Amino acid sequence: MRVDCVVNGEPRRADDVWPGESLLHLLRERLGLPGAKNACEQGECGSCTVYLDGEPVCACLVPAGQARDREVVTVEGLAAGPGELHPVQRAFVAAGAVQCGFCTPGLVVAVHDLLARTPAPADEEIREALAGNLCRCTGYEKILAAVRLAAGREESQP
Ligand code: FES
Ligand code: FES
């Protein structure tokens, strides 16, 4: 089947999409957007988080056909322009919250969504909002620090 959708503000088309294909596969393998990561393919880890019509979803669980005529925003679409970082991405770097980086794109989208809804979240709200995003490397403290930084609650460490 053919899937026409808008991805990061641009109309995109994919042909020969098979019925069981995921949105994650469509984005990574057909549209050349490898930002959303494929870690579990079971909706468990959040590394594939993207926006679908403004709602964060696990792209591995969404059939590609459901993106037809809808708007997808991936981590690649968050920054203001090519070669730039979104403030949430800058905060992750500044807080040292990126190790292997596999969880990072999904976390960045989840944090972007959290701060859009709750600009100054308490730690408990941050933990709750990120409960679906697993990280095997950081122990989460630096991720929390990154969110506080992005929310303007903490100064960047030298
Ligand atoms: S790859 Fe989608 S939730 Fe893990
Ligand atoms: S930085 Fe490696 S899984 Fe989070």
Q: Are strands 55-58 and 49-52 parallel, antiparallel or unpaired?
A: antiparallel
> How far is 79 from 88, CA to CA, in rounded Å?
9
> How far is 130 from 133, CA to CA, in rounded Å?
5
- Residues making up the chain, counted from first to last: 158
Is 96 within a domain?
A: yes
Ligand 2 atom closest to 100 (CA): 2
Which ligand sits nearest to residue 103's alpha carbon?
2
Which ligand sits nearest to residue 24's alpha carbon?
1
Domain region containing 135: 87-150
CA distances from 132 to 12, 15, 53 (A): 29, 32, 19
Is 21 within a domain?
A: yes
Q: Whose CA is nearest to atom 3 of ligand 2?
A: 135
Q: Cβ distance 53 to 40 under 8 Å?
A: no
Å from CA of 18 to ligand 1 middle: 19
Q: What is the pTM of this model?
A: 0.94
Q: What is the pLDDT of residues 59-71, one digit of tens each?
A: 999 999 999 999 9
Give the CATH number for residue 120: 1.10.150.120
Q: What is the pLDDT of residues 82-126, one digit of tens each?
A: 889 999 999 999 999 999 999 999 999 999 999 999 999 999 999
